[in-house]
Amino acid sequence: MKEAVITVKNPTGLHTRPGTEFVQLAKSFESDVSVIKGEKEVNAKSIVKLLKVGIFCGDKITLRVSGSDEENALSALTSYIENLTE
């Protein structure tokens, strides 16, 4: 299992469009992917669950990835969030 803590810098957070792109990217990996914000941990491969967490600019989230391609998945997902700007 691998984890990374990321501060969301996108001014509009992880709303519907970037959230959908994030979920599609997460689904492209075999590994299980979770997003943790505060006390809430959700499956990152579900747009509904991801949006319910409410991820806004300045929030710190933890990505938790476990599986055969966890290193590649964590790298790609972390890069996506860190480089997201709209």
- Catalytic positions: 15
Contacts of 2 (CB under 8 A, 6+ apart): 64, 65, 66, 70, 71, 74
